[in-house]
Amino acid sequence: MASGGAETKAVARTAFLELADAAIETGRVRVTWPGGEATVGRGAGTPEELRVHEPAFFPRVLAYGNLGMGEAYMDGWFDVPDGRLPDLLTLLLRSRLDQEVGRHPSLALRIAGLRIANRVRHPWRNVRAHYDLGDDLFEAFLDPTLTYSCGYAAAERDDLASLQRQKLDRICDKLRLAPGERLLDVGCGFGGLLIHAARERGVTGVGLSVSERHAATARARVEAASLAGRVEIRLADHRAIEGTFDKVVSVGMMEHLRPRQLPGFVRRVARALRPDGLALLHFIGCGRSRNEHDPFIQRYVFPGSDQPRLSRVAGELERNEMAVLDVENLIRHYALTARRWLEAFRANGDRLPPERYDARFRRMWEYYLSSGVAASLASDGALYQVLAAKGFAGPRPLARV
C-alpha cells in the first residue's frame, strides 16, 4: 500500500511526530527514518526505538491506526530492535494517541485531511490472508498441554508450562472438582483441561469443539493419556449440549459468540447443570461501557470476535437463576502469558514450513502476540473468570480460591 507522494509523506511524518510528542508522557520514543531522526515524548529513561524503513509508514498509521501499524509491520516497513515491540506498543497504547488528536484542533484538521486522502486512494478492503492454521503453528508457541488461553502466574518469572499448570489447577479448585463428578468443557480446544481434570481430580468429562482439527488432536491426546473411557470429545458447539453435569467450564470460547448468542449459551449452561452445580466462565472481556473492537485483530486473527462486558454476562446468569459466587480479573496474568507465547514463537517460528507460514504471516503473528502483551497492560481489556452456582441455597465456601 503506497500512501501518496513525497509531500504527503512528509506532512504525515510531521503530524505523527507532533502527535506522539504531545501524547507520550510516561516515556520517549526515538524515531528514525531514511534521512532523519527525532525523539518524541516527555518521559524519562532510555527511549524506545522505532526504526521506519518506508516513509509511507506515517500516513498509513495516521489513516488506519493499529490496523495500519500492524500491516506496516507485516510488510517490513518498520522494526523495533532488541525484541521490544511489545514495550513500544504498550507505551503507544498507554499514551492514547487518538484522544490527543482532539486536544489540538490544527493537528486534528491535518490528520483528518490525510485520512480522507488516504482512504479515497485506498478504500477499506475487507480481505484477510487465509492460512490453514495447523497444529505445528500452535506447537511453536504453546506449552506441552497446548493450552491456548491465559495462564496464572505465581511469580513474574514463571515459565509457560507453570503458568498453564497453575491455571488448570486454579480452575479445578474453583470448581471444587471431586472424583466421580461429570465435567462439561464447552470449547475444549486440544483437551488440555479435561485431561488434567481427569488425571488429577478423578472426573469424567465431555468436551465440545467446533474445530475438526482441534477435536481430532484432542481425541488423539485423550487416547495417548489412556483416558478414552473417561473423556469424550465431540465435534459440536454449545447448541448441542446434552445431558446433566456436576460442573461446566468454558475457557476462551465466549469471545467468539455474537452478542445475540450469549443469552442462549448461558441458558444452555444453566440447563446442563445439576442443582447446586457450578459453572466457571473464563473469557476476554471489555471493562468499559462501549466495546471498540481492534481492527487488526478483527481482520487478521479473530474475525467477528467480541469481548463481552461483565455486566452483560452477570445479567444473563441472573436471568437463569445462577448465583454469582466469585469474579476475578486476570488481565495482568494475560500479559505474562502472551509474553511467554511471544518468546516461544520467536524461538521456534523459523522452523515453521515457509510454504504455509511465510515471512508476512510470521510477522503478523508476532505483532498479534505483542499486541496481546500491550493490551493486557494498557487497554480497557479484561480477562474474567466468573464462578456461578445453579440456585441460591446450596453450600458456599467461606473463602475464595
CB 150, CB 334: distance < 8 Å: yes
Query: What's the CA gap between 30 and 49, in Å, rounded?
Result: 5
319 and 193 inside one domain: yes
287 and 177 inside one domain: yes
Domain membership of residue 130 (yes or no) is: no
> Which residues on adjacent β-strands are paired with residue 250?
281
34 and 156 inside one domain: no
Domain CATH number, residue 95: 3.30.1050
The last residue of one of the domains, among 93, 121, 149, is 121
85 and 219 inside one domain: no
The beta strand positions in 119-254, using DSSP E, are: 182-186, 204-209, 231-235, 245-251
Domain membership of residue 126 (yes or no) is: no
Which amino acid is present at 281?
L
Could you tell me the residue range of the domain that residue 97 belongs to?
6-121
Cα first-last separation, the chain: 51
Q: What is the pLDDT of residue 112?
A: 54
Q: What is the pLDDT of residue 8?
A: 81
The last residue of one of the domains, among 66, 86, 121, is 121
CB 331, CB 359: distance < 8 Å: no
45-76 per-residue burial string, b: 16 or more CB within 10 A, e: under 16: eebbbbebebbbbbbbbbbbbbbbbbbbbbbe
Q: Alpha helices of 158-261 — where are they, by DSSP H?
A: 160-175, 192-201, 212-224
CB 192, CB 168: distance < 8 Å: yes
Domain membership of residue 11 (yes or no) is: yes
Domain membership of residue 396 (yes or no) is: no
247 and 307 inside one domain: yes
83 and 141 inside one domain: no
Domain membership of residue 372 (yes or no) is: yes
Reading the block at residue 393, the C-alpha cell is 441455597
- Report how many domains make up the chain: 2
Domain CATH number, residue 301: 3.40.50.150
Query: What's the CA gap between 389 and 330, in Å, rounded?
Result: 21
Residue whose C-alpha cell reads 509474553 in the numeric block: 339
Count CB neighbours of 211 within 10 A.
15
Task: Give the dihedral sign, CA 286/290/296/300.
Answer: positive
Domain membership of residue 128 (yes or no) is: no
Reading the block at residue 222, the C-alpha cell is 485423550
Output the tens digit of pLDDT for each of the chain's 401 residues: 444 588 889 989 999 999 999 999 999 999 999 999 999 999 999 999 999 999 999 999 988 888 899 999 999 999 999 999 999 999 999 998 766 555 545 545 554 554 444 444 433 332 233 223 678 999 999 999 889 999 999 999 999 999 999 999 999 999 999 999 999 999 999 999 999 999 999 999 999 998 888 899 999 999 999 999 999 999 999 999 999 999 999 999 999 888 999 999 999 999 999 999 999 999 999 888 777 778 888 888 887 777 899 999 999 999 999 999 999 999 999 999 999 999 999 999 999 999 989 999 999 999 999 999 999 999 989 999 999 999 999 888 888 99
174 and 297 inside one domain: yes
The DSSP secondary-structure symbol of 179 reads T
The last residue of one of the domains, among 121, 149, 178, is 121
Domain membership of residue 162 (yes or no) is: yes
Find the helix packing angle between 331-348 and 85-95, rounded to 10°. Answer: 150
92 and 239 inside one domain: no
93 and 162 inside one domain: no
36 and 11 inside one domain: yes
- List Cβ<8 Å contacts ≥24 apart for 164-172: 164/192, 165/196, 167/333, 168/192, 168/193, 168/196, 168/197, 169/196, 169/200, 170/401, 171/249, 171/251, 171/280, 171/282, 171/385, 172/196, 172/197, 172/200, 172/201
DSSP tally for the chain: helices H, then strands E: 14, 11
Q: What is the pLDDT of residue 99?
A: 64
107 and 162 inside one domain: no
114 and 53 inside one domain: yes
